[in-house]
Chain A
Amino acid sequence: MRFKKRFSISGFIVLAIVGITLSAPLLSPYDPYGIDVGEPFLGPSWTHLMGTDDLGRDLFSRILYGGRITVLIAIAATIVALVIGTLWGMVAGVQRGWVDEILMRTADATMAIPQILFALVCVSAVGSSVISLPIIVGLLLSPTTARMARTAVVVELASDYVVAARATGLKKSRLIMTEVLPNIAPQLLVQLSINAAAAVMMEASLSFIGLGIQPPDASWGTLMLQGYGNLWNTNWYVFFPALVVTVTILAFNSYGERIRVSLDSRKSST
């Protein structure tokens, strides 16, 4: 029963995607950069599970390696968003007053800028690489994390246990680190999952318009762009990266939703 409660298909898929893509060098049947001009645009077969691209490169291997880049960017961006957003929201929620006002109005203003547009602004200024993309995407996701963290901190600070802890003379900084932060961790986990989905979506979008990861390196977005360019030669080329991107985003979103629902039901039962 306990196992049933904790087991979730979306969580399993998230783990599988992260595990498989990160171990790409072990699982990849071919060299992802290995050109075979004699075998372009092959359909799926036992030799090439997802077919080959315009240069005869094995698409399955390229998707595994591309996934490694996409997933690493998403993980790094999620960490950047989590650290900056949590700090941003916690400072606002703890300080309140004008500090809160300035920090939250800045978050509102940042959220009023459409993410893809802001990403274009940043990418055009600094260019795109495996270093700059996670930072840009992470920064863009941090205001929503900050809003969520601030609300959670404000709610926690008004709880009875915080009042009791303050009454025992516990320092505010210690109280935040040892009591409040662990208590808002589940909500941060929900945001983490939603942010990971948004990061995969943003990386894929930027790479799809040619402003993300540049060839010969490939992310899932880059593969989709190349597949889209070769749509009239083969359908499979674009189909598989599009499928893995959608499944990944869906898994992250569903996992976040599942944790949120279980948190809500736990709250209502208490």
Chain B
Amino acid sequence: MGRYLLRRALSSSIVLATSLILVFLSIRILPGDPVLARLGAATKVTPEALEALREEAGLDRPLLAQLFSWLSDALRGDLGVSYISQFPVTQLIGERLPVTFELTFFIIVLSCIFALILAPLSILKPGGILDRFIGTMTSIGLSIPGFVVGIIFILIFSLTLQWLPSLGFVPIKENIGQNLQLMIMPSITGALTATPYLVRYLRASMLEIKQSSFIRTAEGKGLSDSRIMFRHILPNSLVPTLTMLGLIVGYTLSGVIIIEYMFGLPGIGSLAIEGAFKRDYAIIQGVSLVIISLFILTTLCFDILCGLVDPRLRVAKDRQNEI
């Protein structure tokens, strides 16, 4: 187990470091000057002033030196200052991270509930009407962009029925009722885009378990269908689904970018979009670092958890990496 943990941690660190270097280099190598972006529409800027601004931002130094100082500062929790507002990026992200975490939490809880209802229903009679209906809905769910689902919800619940507000955010500490009310639509929107992946995976996993010999034994013993489903099939199919859940948590952390933006939630997703609009590279780099780290850390934690629960998966993962 120790070797497995070490290997997984090492490969995740390599992937993390490479992705961060890729993001850093993409910003630096691609055409587009951050200093010019900071100046915006300002005219009559002398070349000397431009050079001074570049020096101030450390952009005159060699690329490798910039990369190392960014990474070493990031390790100490310093992500630099915003090129536009001059606020520390760590502070900006810290203020917005709780919103993203809250939304991600609701999305994951809801999608797990939906998947735990839909997957058992679809394998009651594989190939039956209900199974095919859920299959079709899953395929449609995989193809609808999250913001289209959000638009449909706003049309129904805000415009037509006028039950829920479509925009805004109230911190949970200030008013829990209003906070939850404003979180309902973004959470369900996110959950409906994450659920199809979970349902597909859980259904496949449950179907495989359903065909195994120990289930035939349980049927032979005369156990009721519900007992077989909830006592034997479901618990055994949850372990492989954990890996998928880890990926979904990771993807949700980034998938909330557009949901936050369209529902006016002040999370790190909308911070990234604001940064992209203003070409504030410090913010984009900082948000990328946080999201990528969270993504890799989450998948790593879920992988380790799966390895702990089911030792066969450790061997399978190692073999997969060898291929």
Contacts and interface: CB of A to CB of B under 8 A. Distances in A.
Interface of A: 105-106, 108-110, 112-114, 116-118, 120-127, 151, 154, 197, 201, 204-205, 208-211, 224, 228, 231-232, 235, 238-239, 242, 245-246, 249-250, 253-254, 257
B23 A113 contact: yes
Contacts of A127: 32
Interface stretch (B59-67, B94-102, B119-127, B274-282): B274-282
A224 B151 contact: yes
A113 B275 contact: no
Chain B contact surface mostly: helix
A116 B159 CA distance: 29
Given A114-B291, A204-B145, A210-B277, A122 B26 contact: yes
Contacts of A113: 19, 22-23, 288, 292
21 contacts: A106-B22, A109-B19, A110-B19, A112-B15, A114-B295, A117-B257, A117-B272, A117-B287, A117-B288, A120-B276, A121-B23, A121-B26, A124-B276, A125-B26, A125-B279, A126-B32, A197-B143, A208-B258, A238-B151, A249-B144, A253-B143
Interface in B8-31: 14-16, 18-19, 22-23, 26-27, 30-31
B323 to A, nearest CB: 8
Contact of A109 (B22, B32, B151, B276): B22
B231 to A, nearest CB: 33
Top 5 closest A-B pairs, CB basis? A114-B254, A109-B18, A125-B30, A250-B143, A124-B276
A249 B254 CA distance: 20
Contacts of A204: 145
A209 to B, nearest CB: 6
A232 B258 CA distance: 20
A224 to B, nearest CB: 7
Interface string B244-271: 0000000101110110011000000000
Given A117-B257, A238-B151, A228 B262 contact: yes
B12 to A, nearest CB: 9
Contacts of B253: 114
Interface in B76-93: none
B204 interface: no
B273 to A, nearest CB: 6
Contacts of A254: 139
Interface string B223-260: 00000000000000000000000000001011101100
Given A124-B284, A249-B143, A211 B26 contact: no
Contact of B139 (A109, A154, A253): A253
Given A105-B18, A117-B254, 10 more contacts: A112-B15, A113-B23, A114-B255, A116-B255, A117-B257, A120-B257, A124-B275, A125-B32, A238-B151, A245-B148
Interface residues on B, range: 35 or more
Contacts of A105: 14-15, 18
B273 A114 contact: no
A242 B148 contact: yes
B292 A112 contact: yes
A117 B26 contact: no
B176 interface: no
A201 B144 CA distance: 9
Given A231-B159, A235-B155, A114 B251 contact: yes
Contact of A246 (B15, B145, B279, B323): B145
B285 to A, nearest CB: 8
A20 to B, nearest CB: 19
Contacts of A120: 257, 272-273, 275-276, 284
B191 interface: no
A230 to B, nearest CB: 12
Contacts of A211: 273, 276-277
A34 B110 CA distance: 46
Contacts of B262: 208, 228
B147 interface: yes
B296 interface: yes
A110 B20 CA distance: 9
Contact of A117 (B14, B139, B154, B291): B291
Nearest to A235: B155
A205 B26 contact: no
Given A113-B19, A124-B279, A246 B148 contact: yes
A257 B136 CA distance: 13
